[in-house]
Amino acid sequence: MVGTAAETTGLAELSANKCFGGWQKRYSHKSNVLKCDMQFSVFIPPISDPNEKLPALYWLSGLTCTDENFSAKAGAQRVAAELGIMLIMPDTSPRGDHIPDAADAAYDLGLGAGFYVNATQEPWHNHYQMYDYIVEELPALIKKEFRVKEKAAIAGHSMGGHGALTIALSNMKQYCSVSAFAPIVNPSDCQWGQKAFNNYLGENQKDWEAYDSCMLMRQQGKFLHIPMLVDQGLDDNFFHTQKLTKPLEEVALELGYEAEFRYHAGYDHSYFFIASFIESHLRFHAEHLLKQ
C-alpha cells in the first residue's frame, strides 16, 4: 500500500473505498498555511510495484465544491486506474467555524470560493492562502506521504480551471501539462473574478495580474512551453456572462501558442459535461506524465 507513514505527518484517513482495483481515499490534516484543518481526496490506482513512483494529477474544483465533488461525479477513476495515474483532489477553500465567510453567505466569495489566490486583505489574508496551499504545502505533504513523480499534471473546472491555468503558467517547472473545463480565464474582466479579487487582493488591479491567465500567458510570451487542453460547452450559462475560455484562446492565437481549445454544442457547466470528456483529459495528461 502507498502512504503507510500517515501517523508521522498528522495525516488522518477518513475513508477508504476499493475502486477499479485501486483505492478512493479521503484524508484530513492540519494546514499551517491555511491555519485550519483541511480535507483532500486521492485515488490511488492499482500498484504492481510498491517502489514505483506514480504519475499524479491535481484536480481543482469550482465554486461551492469540496474535495468530494470530482471523486463522486466525474467518473475519472476507471481511466485513471487503467493509466496508473494518481488523482489528488483538494478542497476549494479553508474550512472551519473560525474561517471568515461572505457576510451575505454568497456562493462566490468566502467558504467554497478561495479562488486559488493568496489573499492580502482583511478579513481574508490570515487563512485564504490557497495558492501557497496548492503549489507548496499540499505537494510537499503528498511527496512525503506517497511515492509520486517529481512533476505533476494539473486540471480544473470553472474557478478550478482558473486555478489550474494560473498555477501552471506561473510554475511550468513543476507541472508537465495543464487542462481545464469551462475556466474563468480573465477574472480581472468578469463579475466572479472582480468580486473575489476586490475582496481578497484589494482595488489595485496590478495586484490581480498574477492570478489572471490571460495576463500570465502574455507575460510568458515566447517562454510558453506547457501543453494545454481546454474544453468549453457552448450551452454553458456562464460562457458569455463570465467570459469563459474564449479570451484565453484569443491570446494563445495572438502569441502563436499551440494550446488546444475545443467547443461542444449542447453541453453546459455541470459535472455531466466534465464526465463526458474527462477520459480525453486523462489520456492527454498521461502522454506527458508517463514521459518522466
Span 226-256, pLDDT tens digits: 999 999 999 999 999 999 999 999 999 999 9
The domains of the chain, with CATH numbers, are 6-289 (3.40.50.1820)
Q: What average pLDDT does range 270-282 have in this prediction?
A: 98
pLDDT in tens, 104-156: 879 999 999 999 999 999 999 999 999 999 999 999 999 999 999 999 999 99
Residue tagged active-site, from 67, 91, 212, 236: 236
The sign one gets for the Cα dihedral 268, 270, 276, 279 is: positive
Mean pLDDT estimate for the chain: 95
Residue 75 CB neighbour total at 10 angstroms: 15
- What is the DSSP secondary-structure string of 13-54? EEEEEEETTEEEEEEEEEETTTTEEEEEEEEE---S-TTSPB
Q: Are strands 36-44 and 22-31 parallel, antiparallel or unpaired?
A: antiparallel
The pLDDT value recorded for residue 45 is 98
Lowest average pLDDT, out of 3-7, 91-95, 177-181, goes to: 3-7
pTM of the model: 0.95
Backbone angles phi, psi at 80, to 5 degrees: -60, -40
Confidence of residue 9 (pLDDT cuts 50, 70, 90): low
List all residues 6 or more positions away from 202 whose beta carbon is below 8 Å from its beta carbon. Answer: 120, 121
Residue spans of beta strands (DSSP E) within 75-187: 86-90, 152-157, 175-181
Q: Is the pLDDT reported for residue 263 higher than 70?
A: yes
Residue tagged active-site, from 29, 157, 269, 285: 269
Confidence of residue 89 (pLDDT cuts 50, 70, 90): very high
Residue tagged active-site, from 158, 177, 179, 213: 158
Residue 179 DSSP SS3: strand
Does the annotation count 264 as an active-site position?
A: no
Does the annotation count 236 as an active-site position?
A: yes
The pLDDT value recorded for residue 103 is 85
The pLDDT value recorded for residue 60 is 99
Q: Is the pLDDT reported for residue 7 higher than 50?
A: no
